[in-house]
Structures are given as structure tokens and as C-alpha cells.
Structure 1
Amino acid sequence: MDVIDPLPDWRALAALDDEALPLLGVALLIARDEYPDLDPRRYALQVQGHAAHLRDALDRESHLALKMRAINRYLFEEVGYAGNHDEYYDPRNSYLNEVFERRLGNPLSLALVQMAVAREVGLPLDGVSFPGHFLVRLPVDDGMLVMDPFNRGRPLDVDELRQRARAHMGGDAPDDDALSQILHPASNRAILVRVLRNLHGVYQERGDWERATRSADRVLSLAPDNPEALRDRGIGYLELGHLAGAREDLRQYLLRHPKAEDAAAVRLRLIEAGLGPARLH
């Protein structure tokens, strides 16, 4: 169980190797920004309780795919975890404490629950940063089982995976090599950055610049060289009137990425705010 109490310190995360990043612990740390009284032990116990309920049933199954089917049946049918199709962009779908409490989430947060429970009972379930919706994968004797946590853990065959990827690849379905690369397990850091990027997108769309900026800042705590987060924090600072922070972040973004597709737009924002010349050296 990688939930720790007390939760890790944001200032220490950038220096940690990926394997040392506690996935659930940092996911709950993200939630603590919004829910300062959050008790991580409560959710560690929920994961352990789910695992304890499953162990007898799993002991009766010999094949990993059948064990995984039993886990999905329990989580999605008995306990009632479900994808929030009606309010997909509700930020509560990204906060792991809310997902445990409400049994509702988005693909990524439901995958985190699914992965935590599977790993607690010894199944090596990994996340996949698939284009569009986050997925999970489990190595099995004859290949790989890929599942959709947003739709009750439904298994996906190769044809459906190709069709799902096609919409995000300019209309071209990936070949075997490309699909294999897409299905590579996501690192803990990449998963946690994606949680925060999802939150940033939701809050930016709502014009909630304080929370959007916080989300971008937390990405930089995990991945200091993330260019999108540097730009987004700078834009957030600009919207909030923190001009010194905006100047520093946006100038750094342009200096590091002068050929970025949005470089001209970012430069214009600096000029309009009276924070920079037309050309940055």
C-alpha cells in the first residue's frame, strides 16, 4: 500500500525516482489541496477492505484474467464504482477522496482505484496513457488484457483499440508497433501529471484561475521541466494579476521553447500586459 501518513511533501517530489513516488499517496496529496482535512488512512483502509473482501474469491481462480474479472465484477457491480458520464468535467471526478466516497470518477481516477485494489491482491495492473481515455493493462499468459475503467472495466480487443486511437492520430489507425508503444505502461509521474493536467483544464475552462494556477504549479513540483505547466502557470499568474510571476514564467517558456506553436500568442500576451518587448533574447 503506497498511501503514507503523513502524506509526502510537495517540495520533495521532483527529486524522487519514479518508482519511489507513492501513486495513491500523491493522488491524495493533490486532493488535500482542495480538502485540507482529508485523512489518507481512511482511503488506505478502503483499499485494504476491498482487497480483503476479494481474497477468497481470487484464491479460487487460477488464471490472471479470471482474477481480474472477479475484481472488476466486485468493484463495478457490487461496490458500484462508475464512470460519471453525466458530469464528466466535474472536478470531483479527479479528486481521489471524492471518487472513493461518491463511487464516481473519470477514466483516470477509476483506474487509480482499480490499480490500487489489484496491486493490493498481487496483480500487476498498470495504467496506460491512451489517447482520449485512460486505460489499464494486465499481462496474461497469452498476451495482454486491456480494459476500460470508465466503462466497468470492459476488455478491449485490438480492433477497438485501433479505432479509438484513430480519432487522435489524424484518422490513421496505428500499426502493431505504434499500438504497442501507445499501450506501454504509464509511469507514476506521468499518471500524476495527467491528474493535474485534467484539473487544470477543468478549472481553466471555468475561469477559476486560482485553482488552475495551483494545478499548473503542482505539475511543476512533480516535473519542473514541463513546458505546458510553466506556460499555464504564467498565464494563470497574469490572469490573477501576479505580474512578476507571469513575467518570469512566460519569459522562461519563450526562452526555452522559442519555436513552440503558441510562442507568438504567448509573446503577445506579455506585450499586451506591458511585461515584455516584441522580441525576447
Structure 2
Amino acid sequence: MISSLNYFTTLVQEANNVPLFEAALAIAQDAYPALDLNAPQVTMDRFAYTLRQRMPAEASQIKKLQLLNQFFFKELGFSVNVNNYYDPDNSYLQCVINKRRGIPISLAIVYMELAQQIGLPIQGVSFPGHFLMKLSVTSGDIVIDPLNGISLTHEQLEERLEPYLRTSPLQSREKKVSLQPYLQGAHPHEILVRMLHNLKVVFMQSQQWQKLLTLQQRLLVLLPNDAIELRDRGAAYAHLDCPQAALDDIESYLMQRPHAEDAVTLREQSKELRKACKRLN
């Protein structure tokens, strides 16, 4: 039987043909090993069929967007999980579909899957702080908030971006920052990495090292040899008493970033890990 990690790897290996919904859904296999991957897709197909039945034959993209928003947010009741925002289930798509609750990126993935099935080419936008979506029409881009389907104005987007700009207030006033680089359509790999990073924060803060390790394996499928992800997988291995694996990852990180701020601390940790390896041998 193919492992869940190998299955995920198979889904994402062709960069130009990544089934985003299926790959995002597969992440949940770590927490729900017995998950029936077909059931959420059947539910989505049923949603799409219902929506297509209501769609006028020559519906414009704007009309489709209006009908989708009405169906998704009003009728189905999808919304943000305000009561338990950091619950890992908010990132597991079968839970999002069943409970109709999630966070911006998971709601967006479900929304975009439904949009795709009705012929609406909506893209994800990896906007700082809050994942967004966009629909490109003749008059320009419609930028959509996945929490409620509201179309955001230029001014609203600038306001949301301002806290994440790395310029001083004086510079930001003197030099107008273009929104365009922040509104590019996100590649499925980028969306999956962001989704996994949300879970990573939860698992690191709660010190769930086995879950973190499993998640780091997926991140390294998407970001092979990424220094930060190697370092963090090494941390998980260290907490799980796997000193050789931890040492390998930490040394790989130090080779890539010998002058990193945490290099001195990690070199000291490497010494302790070598001692632990010798004791095991």
C-alpha cells in the first residue's frame, strides 16, 4: 500500500499539473489515517451539480460569481471558525466541508474547487497575513475575501498590506507601493506550503513533535533541501530522541547558512547530538 507521504509526493511532483484540492485534502491523512479521500470530492461534486442546475445557460463570469457567493456563504453557510481559529481541523478539508468552518486558505481551496467545477477560473492569492482570491475579468481583477466573498477595493487592500511593508512610515508615505506584486496568482505549491506552515505554527507552539515531524516531511517534498525546513525537521527529530537524523538535518542547515543568527546555538546542539549518537552506538 502506498504511504500517505508517497501519495502526496505523487500528486505534487508535476509542477504544471498539481490537483490542488486533492493534494490539500491529502494533508489530512496525517491526522485521519482512515480518511476516505473520495467522500469529500463526492460532496463537492454534489454541490457543483446543484449550482450548475441554477446557472443560466449564458451566465457571465460576474453572474456566476454572484451565484457562487450566494450558494457558498449564504446557503451552505461556510465561514471562519471564530470560536477555535487555531484548531488543526480548520486546515483539514474534509472537516472544513463537514463543519462549514475553516480559515481563509482552507475556505479558499474549497471555494476555488467549486468555482472550477462551474467554469469560473478563480486563483488563490498569497497575500500577506490573509489569503485572498481573485477573478480576472475584462475590466480588471476582482479580489475576493474567502471569509465572506466580499470584493475588496484598492484602498482596502492597501490598508491590509500596510502593516506588512518593511519600509518606514516616512518612506511608505513618500513612495507609493504597488499592490500588483502582492496580487499575483499563487502556484499550488505555494498554497500548499502556506497551508502546511499554518499547521506548523500550531504544532510547534503545542510541542507536538511527532505531528511536526510528519508535517516537515511534506514541506520538504515541496521545498527540497530548504535550509529552514531542514533545521526545523532536525528540531523535531531531536525532541523525538533521533539524534543521528537530527544531526544530519542541523548540519545540512549549517552548511547552507554558516553565519545564521542561530548558528552558534546549533553548533553547540550538534556537539550534544554527536555524544548522543556515540552512546547509542
Which TM-score applies when normalising by structure 1? 0.88
Q: Hey, what does 2:113 align to over in structure 1?
A: 116
The amino acid across from 1:161 in the alignment is L
Q: For residues 117-159 of structure 1, what are the alpha-carbon distances to aligned partners after superposition, in whole Å with 9 as ceiling and x for unaligned?
A: 0001111111011100111111012000111112x11111111
The amino acid across from 1:123 in the alignment is L
Q: Which SS does the other structure have where 1:137 is aligned?
A: strand
Q: Hey, what does 1:29 align to over in structure 2?
A: 26
CA distance in 2, matches of 1:46, 1:108: 19
Q: Hey, what does 1:223 align to over in structure 2?
A: 223
Q: For residues 31-84 of structure 1, what are the alpha-carbon distances to aligned partners after superposition, in whole Å with 9 as ceiling and x for unaligned?
A: 011111111211111111111111133326733223112101111110011111
Distance 1:68 1:23, change over 3 A: same
Greater Cα shift, 186-195 or 18-27:
18-27
Q: Hey, what does 1:3 align to over in structure 2?
A: none
Question: Pick from 143, 158, 162: which aligns with 1:162?
Answer: 158
- Equivalent residue runs for 1:74-113 within 5 Å: 74-113=71-110
CA distance in 2, matches of 1:182, 1:217: 28
Distance 1:7 1:58, change over 3 A: farther
Q: Which SS does the other structure have where 2:184 is aligned?
A: coil
The amino acid across from 1:51 in the alignment is A
Q: Hey, what does 2:279 align to over in structure 1?
A: none
Aligned length: 268
Q: Is the 8 A contact 1:8 1:29 kept in 2?
A: no
CA distance in 2, matches of 1:163, 1:264: 39
Q: Is the 8 A contact 1:51 1:121 kept in 2?
A: yes
Q: Is the 8 A contact 2:132 2:145 kept in 1?
A: yes
Please provide the CA RMSD for this pair.
2.3
Q: For residues 192-232 of structure 1, what are the alpha-carbon distances to aligned partners after superposition, in whole Å with 9 as ceiling and x for unaligned?
A: 11111111111111111111121111111222133221111
Post-superposition offset of 1:12: 3.4
Q: Is the 8 A contact 2:247 2:273 kept in 1?
A: no
Q: Which SS does the other structure have where 1:215 is aligned?
A: helix
Q: Hey, what does 1:238 align to over in structure 2?
A: 238
Q: Is the 8 A contact 1:201 1:212 kept in 2?
A: no
Q: Is the 8 A contact 2:8 2:27 kept in 1?
A: no
Q: Which SS does the other structure have where 1:228 is aligned?
A: helix
Q: Hey, what does 1:184 align to over in structure 2?
A: 184
Question: Pick from 9, 20, 25: which aligns with 2:7?
Answer: 9
Q: Which runs of 5+ in 2 are unaligned?
A: 277-281
Q: Could you tell me the percent identity over the aligned residues?
A: 36
Q: Which SS does the other structure have where 2:205 is aligned?
A: helix
Q: For residues 65-115 of structure 1, what are the alpha-carbon distances to aligned partners after superposition, in whole Å with 9 as ceiling and x for unaligned?
A: 231121011111100111112211110000111101111101110000010
Q: Is the 8 A contact 1:131 1:168 kept in 2?
A: yes
Q: Is the 8 A contact 1:146 1:155 kept in 2?
A: yes
Which TM-score applies when normalising by structure 2? 0.88
Q: Which SS does the other structure have where 1:146 is aligned?
A: strand
Q: Which SS does the other structure have where 1:75 is aligned?
A: helix
Distance 1:61 1:8, change over 3 A: farther
Computing the radius of gyration over CA atoms, which structure comes out larger, 1 or 2? 2
Q: Is the 8 A contact 1:203 1:209 kept in 2?
A: yes
- Equivalent residue runs for 1:193-232 within 5 Å: 193-232=193-232
Q: Is the 8 A contact 1:8 1:25 kept in 2?
A: no
CA distance in 2, matches of 1:118, 1:8: 28
Q: Is the 8 A contact 1:43 1:100 kept in 2?
A: yes
